[in-house]
Structure 1
Amino acid sequence: MQIILYLSVALIAIAFFVLVIYLSKTLKSLQVTLTSVSNTLTGLEKQLNGVTTETTLLLQKTNALAEDIQLKAESLNSVVDAVKDVGTTVSKFNGTLQNITNSVDQQVEESKEKISQIIQWSNIFLELKDKWQARKQAKNELNSKERERVRAH
């Protein structure tokens, strides 16, 4: 009777150890995924910094151009039309930047959902695997008990 109790405790300890191992593997896999996402976000941040720098340079050039046009506007009416075109271009460029920002935000949100789904599926898989191992182990224990009973007779 005590042997069964000791075997049960040992079996529980082994099952817990296996669970901890698989949980550790899952967490390491999640860490790799999150590191990849972090690297992706870092890359996007660098790209946005580059776009910001280019935008700043473009705005500086636009400001210099606007000053030059303002000086010449008194003598040339055609220059005023050119300023309007520059304003339209800057507006379109700002719209393009907004579209890029929205696209980046959307990609980040989609990644969050995918990671969440991966974690959920991993948990389901681990639960099924644990149940399958428990059934297999229970079957092995029954076979062992039957062999002992046959040997005892």
Structure 2
Amino acid sequence: MESLLYISAIIVAIAFAVLVGYIVVTLKSANRTLDHVANTMAGLEKQVNGITNETELLLNKTNRLADDIQHKTESLNTVFASVKELGDSVQQVNRSIRHVSTTVSEQSVKQSEQIAKAVQWGNVAIDFYTKFKARKASQEQSSTLHKEEI
């Protein structure tokens, strides 16, 4: 029986050695995987640092651009205020011109009757003058003919 005890101790020792072998292989594989993960994490850390630096630069440029836009917007506000004042002035001139035009139209309508009378009197005067000239010319012609007959 003692031999059985030795045989079972040998079997247990062999099983333990095989188990230790498999554990060693598994641990070496786990070690390689952890090394690979560590290298990947180091690369990711470098990339994240690079991205962080680029993001900070981009953020600084964006802030400078926003400040520049703000300054330009403030300077454009004065231009827009001037344009508005110019528009108001033009509108006021248009109102004045419209008022003058309306006043002239109203006055011409009021005075159109007087103008019509003046034109009629002018026509009468022109007719009178033409008739006077025609009579004078006919009198001169008849006196010239009368003198020639004598």
Scaled by the length of structure 1, the TM-score of the pair is: 0.46
Q: Between Structure 1 and Structure 2, whose CA radius of gyration is higher?
A: 2
The TM-score normalised by the length of structure 2 is 0.47
